[in-house]
Structure 1
Amino acid sequence: MAIVNPFKAVRATRDKVGLVSSKSYEIYATKKLKAKLKYNPYTFLHVINPGYKYNQETLGEQRFKLVHNRYLEFKEDGVFKQDEKPAFYLYKKTTPESTFCGIIAATSVEDYNNDIIKKHEGTLHLRELLFENYLKNTGFNAEPVLLTYPDNTTIAKIIEKHLLKRPEYEFTTTDKNTHCIWLIDKQQEIEIIQNAFKEISALYIADGHHRSSSSCLLARRLQEENPDHTGLEAYNFFMSYLIPESHLKVYEFNRFVKDLNGLTVDEFLIELDAYFRIENKGQSLYVPKEKHHFSMYLNGNYYSLYLRKTGYEFTDVLSQLDTEILYKTVLKPILGIQDIRTDTRISYAPKKNNSLELKEKVDNGEFQVAFGLVPINIEEIKQIADANLQMPPKSTYIEPKLRSALTIYEF
């Protein structure tokens, strides 16, 4: 039984939302970030980068407190206003390739702790603590966790009804994506949505494992500090964007390795032969189409790699993931990459737009070998989460990617 609640969002006025909302600030290259800050006084990036006002970089708690101050200034100047009554926020993002539609809501820390909200990735404790400290000092969260749920007819009917109305927000960004938000604030519809989610046994984190885990750490801290804790306080929940499984898009991350661990090309191919049937495709672009099939670009040639089932043992759902197979058969034993989180010899890139990236990055000398995979599907993600297992890093590139400050959740 999943708890999903409406909340009173802080959000930009309708005339400024297209200027305020931004991509996650980590995405911006330094030059582009500076241009955004220079030419757009309303961008939320001013809140997240408070040192720009003083022409200096700020770090740690000092930065977090300045973020809080910039946020207050946006509220004082009327750029941000808080809704007077709780609502669900129906958000539709339309890209040139896809349409995503779901509900922004407050989801339960208790559900996270009780494994009703399920995880498929591990988290780094230092990063959890950093973001918990950020939340504690700023008092808000502007980026929802991306959750997915099984397609539900009841929820879909309410969504379809509101899509026929004029949106509260409608704007298009320079990347040709259109963003629309509707408010669902009638009590009857709110209760129908809440009851529908109560019938759903589990929600799955698609993106935002560190944000959700940090929110739970903050809730634990604030519970201990509050002698009158009731469980209804805002800190007992975190902002999420819930979309049906059919709307989720999952892409693969390709792997790039800088060297062959001291092996020649021929020696490397012989080592691979123990695990794979190998076929040299020459200059013909090869993209794998099935699970346990891989593409490889090496020394000017594409190769197909088909896993030899007799040389590899499937022991659980994790062992069947292509990212795990590649690690267990190639990256660790042959190329000597023990820790794929920290080893600087390996790099990753999502195969979303560039099918020639394997070739390009190897031919230009940046890497010596590259591997392509097929995407992991939503059922595999759920199986891993249900088994309380963790995927290797960079196993999935999941869309939609969400903008900051469309809705803001205060603690």
Structure 2
Amino acid sequence: MPVASRNKLPQENLVSLDHCLIRPFAGLRPRRTDAAAVAAPPYDVLSSAEARQTVIGKPLSFLHVSRAEIDLPPEVDPHAPEVYAQSAENFRRMIDGGVLCRDPGACYYVYRLLMGKHIQTGLVAAASVAAYDSNRIRKHEFTRPDKEDDRVRQIEALNAQTGPVLLAHPDNAEAERLLALATDSPPVTDLTADDGIRHMLWVIDDAASIARISAVFGGMPNLYIADGHHRSAAAARVAAARREQSNASDSAEFFLSVIFPASQMLIMDYNRLVKDLNGLTQEAFLVAVGERYTVRLSPAPVRPERSGVCGMYLGNCWYRLEIRPGRMPLSDPVRQLDVSVLAEQILGPLLGITDLRRDTRIDFVGGMRGLSELERRVNSGEMAVAFAMYPTPMADLMAVADAGQVMPPKSTWFEPKLADGLVSHLLDPA
């Protein structure tokens, strides 16, 4: 799938960009006729059972690479060695069959997502591991070793990064102007996924445009990880291991990313459900909540309109909770988050939930499923109470990252999701 170009930037001319924040790369992409068949949901938004169901009648779905256990018996552990071997085999088969083809020279790509009236346009680039290690690419979340291990094994098995890290950059008019110029021509990929999200991709392969983009984005003080902490951490581990083993390749020092302006990012609510009231009656629980929040019965589901407000569904009723004056910390970027306030005021002292990562009495529901999902799970008796949260603002996420702190688990739910398989980053041999 050669890309027509007047002035390509050859891969061997990239040495001068080694210490940049980002750089272009020769992406591995589906040929135009197969892009819709290849594009798949991110590997971590589906269970194995859901992935098996999703690929029925879809032999080219990238889930055969990202969730290769679907091609093995159901009893096989998704993290067994044979799964990664199957992933590599499926990946190689798609390349050998011409379904996936590598661009002949280093490129940037413009990726546009459309979900209803929401539009966001970002840059696909290889982001620097060195910038990640030095915290120029900033984090806001702890990672789990088992999830890191999974992505490390996947990268090593494929010798490629196939799941992009979602990054945000501070708003920059020149960066947006450069990407807008690239989208004046027809996209090389334009598809609508099963969930109704439209994905569009443009290739930027002329040397002058690449140089301008590298200068503008490379001059940004920081980038922020929105989603993909385990993927970026795994890429850093692979790079460090290859350096230590003296088999480092230049490409391993960068990881696949898509970078959007912060103002275009859409964060949805990430709601909480709890299985029981920790021995309290509903009446006693309401009284205790009322000492911390102003509680008002609501005739309709409560979708919080601002920070400091949350909805609570209990006993077939919705309540609007507004934090009482003096109980909202204002100086700490983590403690003032609505999810932190709920944890400090209700989840911990009233419901006895102090470890949101490990306590099995709490569950989390992303905003795309709606408030009706909270009602359903409480009404079924599975859960005792649900809390509808105000979405964490992007500015708060960046403030936490700038302070070198981490957010509570399940603080952000980004939509729309990037597709797997539209662009992959191959790691060249040392």
The alignment's TM-score, normalised by the length of structure 2, stands at 0.89
Check whether the contact 2:140–2:406 (CA below 8 A) recurs between aligned residues: yes
Counterpart for residue 238 of structure 1: 255
What do you get for the CA RMSD once the two structures are aligned? 2.0
Check whether the contact 2:124–2:257 (CA below 8 A) recurs between aligned residues: yes
- Partner of 2:278, secondary structure, is coil
Show structure 1 runs of 5+ residues with no match: none
Can you list the C-alpha shifts for 1:256-304, whole angstroms capped at 9, x where unaligned?
Answer: 11110001112112222331222223x4333322211121111122222
Give the distance between the partners of 2:281 and 2:69, measured in 1 at CA.
Answer: 50
Give the distance between the partners of 2:45 and 2:326, measured in 1 at CA.
Answer: 43
Counterpart for residue 14 of structure 2: none
Alignment of 1:8-407 (within 5 A): 8-28=26-46, 33-50=51-68, 53=71, 55=73, 57=76, 59-226=79-246, 233-281=250-298, 283-311=299-327, 313-352=329-368, 354-407=370-423
Can you list the C-alpha shifts for 1:11-45, whole angstroms capped at 9, x where unaligned?
Answer: 11111111111112443465653354441222222
Alpha-carbon deviation of 1:52?
5.0
- Partner of 1:389, secondary structure, is coil
- Partner of 1:309, secondary structure, is coil
Give the distance between the partners of 1:392 and 1:23, measured in 2 at CA.
Answer: 25
AA in 1 matched with 2:394: I
Paired-residue identity, %:
29
Check whether the contact 2:301–2:311 (CA below 8 A) recurs between aligned residues: no
Check whether the contact 2:51–2:70 (CA below 8 A) recurs between aligned residues: no
Check whether the contact 1:274–1:311 (CA below 8 A) recurs between aligned residues: no
AA in 2 matched with 1:213: A
AA in 1 matched with 2:268: Y
Distance 1:125 1:82, change over 3 A: same
Aligned residues: 407
Give the distance between the partners of 1:176 and 1:64, measured in 2 at CA.
Answer: 30
- Partner of 1:267, secondary structure, is helix
Check whether the contact 2:378–2:385 (CA below 8 A) recurs between aligned residues: yes
Check whether the contact 1:2–1:200 (CA below 8 A) recurs between aligned residues: no
Give the distance between the partners of 1:10 and 1:3, measured in 2 at CA.
Answer: 21
The alignment's TM-score, normalised by the length of structure 1, stands at 0.93
Can you list the C-alpha shifts for 1:191-234, whole angstroms capped at 9, x where unaligned?
Answer: 1001101221000011001110111111110011116x5xx711
AA in 1 matched with 2:63: L
Moved more, 355-364 or 159-168: 355-364
Show structure 2 runs of 5+ residues with no match: 1-18
Moved more, 152-161 or 81-90: 152-161
Can you list the C-alpha shifts for 1:95-126, whole angstroms capped at 9, x where unaligned?
Answer: 22311211110000000011110011111123
Check whether the contact 2:333–2:399 (CA below 8 A) recurs between aligned residues: yes
